[in-house]
């Protein structure tokens, strides 16, 4: 745990600890880090050793997803078009981490511009799952999950647009939280789909996730979507127990398409929560069947708009010589973007085009409202919801990359949460063979404390979070 790590760093050298991490990364075959801030990190470690700070994360190394802006450290979103771009500013979450004494280790691999479920669309090549290096780590924050599960960093930050924190947390057997929309500032997060994405932590334990949330959450005037109000504290009451907690089980999240081992492990997890004093009842989220279609129309439309800025003219990769604007713009983007990004830009542009805006994008927004209302109705009767994080365990690298629809279908239990804007956490709850399975706990808006408390109770009653892969 990060609290134990902090105590350990008071007794031994932070520099030595970081050196061991960097040495392990140098030998790693996971392909999880894209950039290492080795020199600056070691300098900060030496300063910590001379004068230990008092911040919540003083002396704690952390890895950062490639799409989160880091001053002086390349931020390329795992895309050729942004190779060489070094931001002149830090994202809000990076400012918060530094203010509490955290040490930025480097940047982690991801699906290009966060568009994917497997971290296979990166220009750096796929990241491997520490539990089985022939399998994917999930996406798009696959690198952030793999470095934690593989012992290359004690914690990391990812971003979640349709499951991109929870999916890799499930596939890699760690804890991952998608906060309520607006709770964590998006300032400095390279935009994919503005109305859906949130930055979230990936850690070994629920307590570590709660600690990171205390640091990165809170209002930021530079982000127009940032929620106002006082900062929340998530550590007090974390271990109070869940006696009397009412859990809803969405009937639409079980059955056809769910791997048998996954369903069995998740139900065992629900019964574990029941044995700790919670009760459960079936609920319905009837518009779930439309969630995937609505999500991808909205996400691709917003991506089409957001990625129009990447033209290689102001920053990023400049391909070839200068011709007329249209030719130069097209040539740069043709060479700079990968196939999945191009696919989503084209589909999003089509959905926003004249004659189709009302038929697709506007209709998707209406469906989004219905999905949000489903959650609001469910939370009138229960405190939280429980479901599988992913319907399947991690699949093989290359198995689905040429079948985009099968990749999109894997997000069936995560995208509704982003459409509704509610918080959800994935905690390890079992194994399918040797591959981890995640239990997803979902709460009402700004009820991270309730979700974290339930996750903490489950974690304390089980040992799944203690399992570690043997990374070769």
Per-residue pLDDT of 262-312, as tens digits, reads: 999 999 999 999 999 999 999 999 999 999 999 999 999 999 999 999 887
Which of helix, strand or coil describes residue 107?
strand
Top pLDDT among 219 and 319 is at 219
Least confident of 4-13, 103-112, 132-141, 419-428: 4-13
Mean of pLDDT over the chain: 95
Distance of CA 21 to the CA centre of its chain: 22
Residue 351, C-beta contacts closer than 8 angstroms, at least 6 positions apart: 297, 300, 301, 304, 357, 360, 361, 364
Beta strands in 137-294 (DSSP E): 155-160, 175-178, 198-203, 246-250, 279-283
Active site residue 164: yes
Among 6, 65, 178, 453, the one annotated catalytic: 65
Which of helix, strand or coil describes residue 382?
coil
Give the pLDDT of residue 454.
98
In order of 55, 81, 136, the CA distances from 273 in angstroms are 34, 47, 29
- For 388-419, the DSSP string reads ESSSS-PPBTTSSTT-HHHHHHTTTTTHHHHH
Give the pLDDT of residue 317.
74
Q: Which pTM was predicted?
A: 0.97
Cα 332 from Cα 133, distance rounded (Å): 34
Cα 416 from Cα 32, distance rounded (Å): 28
Among 118, 141, 144, 164, the one annotated catalytic: 164
Provide the token pair at 417: 């949460």
> Exposed, middle or buried, 225 (CB in 10 Å: 0-12/13-18/19+)?
middle
Give the pLDDT of residue 321.
64
Categorize the per-residue pLDDT at 355 as very low, low, confident or very high, splitting at 50, 70 and 90.
confident
Give the pLDDT of residue 95.
98
Active site residue 27: no
Report whether 118 contacts 411 (CB < 8 A).
Answer: no
In order of 285, 291, 378, the CA distances from 371 in angstroms are 7, 7, 11
Report whether 135 contacts 435 (CB < 8 A).
Answer: yes
Name the residue ranges covered by the structural domains of the chain: 2-219+228-252+263-284+376-466
Considering only CA atoms, which of 471, 401, 389, 402 is closest in space to residue 436?
A: 389
- The number of residues in the chain equals 472
The superfamily CATH assigns to domain 2-219+228-252+263-284+376-466 is: Amidase signature (AS) domain (3.90.1300.10)
Provide the token pair at 140: 């798009």
Residue 374 has pLDDT above 90, yes or no: yes
Per-residue pLDDT of 115-173, as tens digits, reads: 999 999 999 999 999 999 999 999 999 999 999 999 999 999 999 999 999 999 999 99
Among 28, 69, 78, 140, the one annotated catalytic: 140
Considering only CA atoms, which of 422, 299, 279 is closest in space to residue 352?
A: 299
Considering only CA atoms, which of 292, 447, 293, 436 is closest in space to residue 385?
A: 447
Active site residue 79: no
Distance of CA 257 to the CA centre of its chain: 23
């Amino acid at each position: 745990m990060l609290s134990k790590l902090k105590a350990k760093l008071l007794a031994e050298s932070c520099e030595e600890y970081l050196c061991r991490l960097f040495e392990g990364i140098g030998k790693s075959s996971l392909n999880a880090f894209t950039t290492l801030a080795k020199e600056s990190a070691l300098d900060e470690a030496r300063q910590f050793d001379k004068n230990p700070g008092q911040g919540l994360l003083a002396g704690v190394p952390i890895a950062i997803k490639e799409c989160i802006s880091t001053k002086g450290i390349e931020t390329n979103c795992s895309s050729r078009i942004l190779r060489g771009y070094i931001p002149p500013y830090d994202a809000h979450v990076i400012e918060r981490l530094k203010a509490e004494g955290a040490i930025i280790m480097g940047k982690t691999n991801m699906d290009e511009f966060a568009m994917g479920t497997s971290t296979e669309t990166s220009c750096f090549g796929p990241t491997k799952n520490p539990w089985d290096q022939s399998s994917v780590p999930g996406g798009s924050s696959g690198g952030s999950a793999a470095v934690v599960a593989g012992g290359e960093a004690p914690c990391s930050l990812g971003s979640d647009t349709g499951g991109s924190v929870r999916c890799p947390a499930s596939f890699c057997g760690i804890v991952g939280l998608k906060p309520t929309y607006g709770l964590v500032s998006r300032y400095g997060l390279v935009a994919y789909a503005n109305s859906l994405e949130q930055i979230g932590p990936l850690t070994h334990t629920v307590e570590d996730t709660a600690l990171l949330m205390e640091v990165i959450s809170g209002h930021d005037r530079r982000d127009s979507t940032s929620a106002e109000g006082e900062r929340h504290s998530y550590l007090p009451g974390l271990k109070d127990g869940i006696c009397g907690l009412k859990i809803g089980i969405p009937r639409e999240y079980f059955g056809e398409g769910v791997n048998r081992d996954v369903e069995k492990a998740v139900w065992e997890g629900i019964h574990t929560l029941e044995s700790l004093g919670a009760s459960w009842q079936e609920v319905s989220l009837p518009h779930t069947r439309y969630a995937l279609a609505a999500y991808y129309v909205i996400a691709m439309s917003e991506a089409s708009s957001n990625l129009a800025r990447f033209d290689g003219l102001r920053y990023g990769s400049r391909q070839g010589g200068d011709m007329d604007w249209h030719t130069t713009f097209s040539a740069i983007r043709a060479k700079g973007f990968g196939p999945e990004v191009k696919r989503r830009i084209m589909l999003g542009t089509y959905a926003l085009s004249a004659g189709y805006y009302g038929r697709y994008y506007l209709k998707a927004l209406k469906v989004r409202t219905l999905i949000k209302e489903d959650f609001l109705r469910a939370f009138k009767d229960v405190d939280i919801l429980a479901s599988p994080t992913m319907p399947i365990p991690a699949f093989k690298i290359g198995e689905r990359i040429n079948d985009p629809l099968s990749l999109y279908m894997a997000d069936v239990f995560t995208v509704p949460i982003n459409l509704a804007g509610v918080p959800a956490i994935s905690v390890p709850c079992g194994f399918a063979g040797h591959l981890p399975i995640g239990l997803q706990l979902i709460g009402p808006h700004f009820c991270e404390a309730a979700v974290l408390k339930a996750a903490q109770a489950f974690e304390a009653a089980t040992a799944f979070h203690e399992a570690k892969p043997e990374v070769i």
